[in-house]
Amino acid sequence: MTWGYGSYDKTGVTAATMQGAYAASLEGGVNLFDTAESYGGGLFGGWGASERFLGACMLESRPLAGGPQPVVVSKYIPLPWRLFEPHSMMAALRASVARLQVEALDCYLVHSPVATFNSIRTLANSLATAVESGLTKAVGVSNYSEAQLRETHRVLAERGIPLAVNQVEFSLCHALPERSGLLDACQELGVGLMAYSPLAMGRLTGKYSAANTPKGARRFGNYSFDRIQPIVDRLELLGREHGGKTPSQVALNWLICKGGIPIPGAKNAAQATANAGALGWRLTEGEVGELDELAIEGTLKLGQNG
């Protein structure tokens, strides 16, 4: 909920708006909340801010009895100075659990393997230790390549623990996970593919154009509107054909039809309610194919191996 807070999105996000987004998400049937120790302030300030905000939201707005319970995902960055595993990961996990004010996370991910001196096997064994500690119910990875995914899956299997998810950038402005074979590999192994930046940091919402580009450092899906506008135009057309769905809702539904788990941001109740409008219906196979033809493949960026 607070990825852009304190970075590219410096306005319109408050504790009150985030509380509204949280409550509206649950009301709309959306109960997956993704955060990370670095969100809401970055590596050099505000560490843990997003986790604290989410923890406060969960205390303030209790889910209704029988309603969807929050599923909380957070992430660990294996920075170069975090050399000693599993000690480093476990210390970070305990801090995340404390900030979120929960007994255990639902899923704990390695945020990216790019900056670490440790091996993929070492990180995988640390994830297994995390599950065995009882501080997380499941584990996953983020920004992993197919080869790294397969190695992690194999090492965890040796410890009797499944790999739950690989969280990667995936959208109509970054279709690389499907075209590279990573999506197929996830489905083969029974690993969920969680799609971050599913709306290309707002570029697929219909809010922006060549004359009104997004402000701030929004590096995901950052292509010229000469390439993006045809996608948005088709999203608008398909939305009308599905009873007035928005471009955002159609873009998210495309990911759902692909077997992905989109995790769009929401900084207020209205955005959270709009996100929930991607659920409960499906594009046809032909409509998915139309969008496939328009999708931009994209390239890997700093911090991404997959």
What is the amino acid identity at position 110?
Answer: V
What is the token pair recorded at 197?
A: 């930046």
* Rounded CA separation 219/202 (Å): 11
* Residue spans of beta strands (DSSP E) within the chain: 32-34, 71-76, 107-110, 139-142, 163-169, 192-196, 260-262
Helix (H, G, I), strand (E, B) or coil at 145: coil
Cβ atoms of 260 and 295 within 8 Å: the answer is no
**Chain position carrying tokens 């965890």:** 156
* Rounded CA separation 118/115 (Å): 9
DSSP states along 153-209: HHHHHHTT--EEEEEEE-BTTB-HHHHTTHHHHHHHHT-EEEEESTTGGGTTSSS-B
Residue 39 annotated to the active site: yes
Q: Which of 5, 39, 196, 208 is catalytic?
A: 39
Cβ atoms of 54 and 265 within 8 Å: the answer is no
**Which one-letter DSSP state was computed for residue 9?**
B
**Which one-letter DSSP state was computed for residue 302?**
T
Return the ∠ at Cα 211 (arms to 205 and 214), rounded to 5°. Answer: 50
* Rounded CA separation 201/220 (Å): 6
CA quadruple 127, 128, 131, 137: dihedral positive or negative? positive
* Rounded CA separation 92/14 (Å): 26
What is the amino acid identity at position 25?
Answer: S
The catalytic site residues sit at 39
